[in-house]
Structure 1
Amino acid sequence: MADYADITYAVAERIATVTLNRPEARNGYTIRMADELGDAMDRADRDEEVRVVVLTGAGRDFSVGADLSQGGFDFDPESGPDAAWQEPAGRCSKRIFTMHKPVIAALRGAAVGGGITITLSCDYRLAAEDARFGFVFTRRGIYPEGASAWFLPRLVGMGTALDWMISGRLVDAAEALSAGLVHRLYPADTVLEEAYALAREIIATTAPVSVAVTRQLLYRMASAPSPFPVHELDSRLIGGLGKSSDAVEGVVSFLQKRPPEFTMRVDRDLPDYLPWLHDSI
């Protein structure tokens, strides 16, 4: 998709900015937006000039969740979905889950329903001090989506996830920070610039291949039944460092007290034995 209708996409300073762009509808989430977000994340992940993605929303809100006024779900309500259909919030959250690049969500105003579940697989959620969050599904007679029942307990613990999802109540920024849903709070007019500052720090100081492997190690191996398979994989990774130019550069630049210049690329230098490279998603 070269042109988007419900989002915008721009790259500068090796940062891809993906913006939900329906401010007149408070960035209500649509089927088209889901498809466009998937395409934009694919685009950023394939582009070796992009090191970090910043996900944000135009206007005063990040997103108030599903906008069913735009036609509802993309299946016939009489016959239901076919076997291949996937709900639209999960289309985005799963694609972010599989990214090789870090994704930073910059949240202000309301982030409710699908407007928060699509961000749960982001690496960082930075929020405005007046932001509000809600997993409001039970108050609408519907069900949690975006694979949020998997992501949310891993972020805030099962007890808090049960409270927020069963009650469907709104959560203010201070509670979200205390529970671990968001990483840091900022004044509303600075949260996006703080996301860019974090992105620039990651770009300047970290190796892209190391970041890609580390991000997926945490997600894919955290639910292993014991530490043994994790140690088997990281032993193989550490054992291969003798052939890693980035590992040499990381040590030398540290000793020389200068910024590193990492040259390995995600599109050609990921270890081919990483188990998730062969997964179907």
Structure 2
Amino acid sequence: MGDTTTDFTEITYRVTDRIATVTLNRPEARNGYTVRMADELAAAFDRADRDPEVRVVVLTGEGKDFSVGADLSQGGFDFDPDTGPDAAWQEPAGRCSKRIFTMDKPVIAALHGSAVGGGLTITLSADYRLAAADSRFGFVFTRRGIYPEGASAWFLPRLVGMGRAMDWMISGRLFDAAEAEQAGLVHRVHDPAGLLDAAYALAADLAANTAPVSVAVTRQLLYRMSALDSPAPVHEVDSKLIASIGTNPDAAEGVLSFLQKRRPRFTLSPDKDLPDFLPWSH
């Protein structure tokens, strides 16, 4: 079954075989990032997160580049330049990266061509970044006299360490897929022709073999608790989670399917079955 939504103008959204594909769709502008695109991306990820038929999201770009970053030629930001933004205004890249951060479902970014500036920071909260071998990356802000956005100063050091984050962000230099992979920014590098196939193969494996609630809890455990200064509060949550296994039908199914050497049929759903004691759910 496939479902393509035409509600968007600067991205496309399609659901096929439990995988939602979100595609940046301004190839004539090398997928330059706009305020409209930011809001459409946030809405698309929200739709995928709330759709019980979606298990995984693949994020990619139409044309030869993933995204060359902010395109302010479309009218600038969504506030009056004379009066400035109000206190609640949120810069566009973070509208996407923060929505991915809160996802209950894994997100796989498939990066090709140029992925620079906001065209890279929006992907830092994805679970996976796969790259074409000819990709080029850059946090180019200092070379434009502007500043890192998308909460990238929080995400990037957690992915590659403070030293590499400093190098890339202070210099603003471009770097290739091999350096990105070596540093841990991207998980794997693929031949450009096989990049999307690799992304969909990974998505299909996650959809077929992982439990939706287990994935939702695990990605949030990592994101929200790995930076604490003690393991004690993490272990408190772990203990409650493990104690709940006895009444968890997915846990029983996971063991049974393993013993019977068959694909699991998990029944719990993140939209209604997340544990109510998770500290970030209040």
How far, CA to CA, are the matches of 1:100 and 1:163 in structure 2? 32
Letter in 1 for 2:162: M
How far, CA to CA, are the matches of 1:244 and 1:78 in structure 2? 56
How far, CA to CA, are the matches of 1:140 and 1:57 in structure 2? 23
Cross-structure match for 1:248: 252
Cα shift at 1:77 = 1.8
How far, CA to CA, are the matches of 2:196 and 2:85 in structure 1? 38
Aligned length: 278
Cross-structure match for 2:99: 95
Cross-structure match for 1:3: 7
Correspondence 1:34 to 2:38: yes
How far, CA to CA, are the matches of 1:6 and 1:44 in structure 2? 17
Give the secondary-structure state (helix, strand or coil) at the position aligned to 1:225: coil
Correspondence 1:229 to 2:233: yes
Correspondence 1:48 to 2:52: yes
Correspondence 1:149 to 2:153: yes
Letter in 1 for 2:115: A
For residues 77-116 of structure 1, the aligned pairs below 5 Å read 77-116=81-120
Cross-structure match for 1:186: 190
Cross-structure match for 1:18: 22
How far, CA to CA, are the matches of 1:80 and 1:169 in structure 2? 31
Which runs of 5 or more structure 1 residues have no equivalent in the other structure?
A: none
How far, CA to CA, are the matches of 1:268 and 1:85 in structure 2? 31
How far, CA to CA, are the matches of 1:161 and 1:205 in structure 2? 34
Correspondence 1:68 to 2:72: yes
Correspondence 1:216 to 2:209: no
TM normalised by structure 2 equals: 0.97
Percent identical pairs in the alignment equals: 76
CA contact (8 A) 2:104 2:270 kept: yes
CA contact (8 A) 2:94 2:150 kept: yes
Kindly provide the CA deviation profile for residues 19-59 of structure 1, in whole angstroms up to 9, marking residues without a partner as x.
00000000000000001001000000000100000000000
How far, CA to CA, are the matches of 2:122 and 2:161 in structure 1? 18
Poorly superposed stretches of 4+, deviation over 6 Å: none
How far, CA to CA, are the matches of 1:232 and 1:182 in structure 2? 32
Match of 1:159 among 163, 185, 206: 163
Cα shift at 1:78 = 2.1
RMSD over aligned CA atoms reads: 0.8
Cα shift at 1:115 = 0.2
TM normalised by structure 1 equals: 0.98
Cα shift at 1:2 = 5.8
How far, CA to CA, are the matches of 1:277 and 1:57 in structure 2? 32
Kindly provide the CA deviation profile for residues 198-229 of structure 1, in whole angstroms up to 9, marking residues without a partner as x.
00000111000000000100000011110000
Correspondence 1:199 to 2:203: yes
Letter in 1 for 2:19: I
Match of 2:136 among 123, 132, 139: 132
Kindly provide the CA deviation profile for residues 220-257 of structure 1, in whole angstroms up to 9, marking residues without a partner as x.
00111100000000000000111100000011111111
Letter in 1 for 2:8: Y
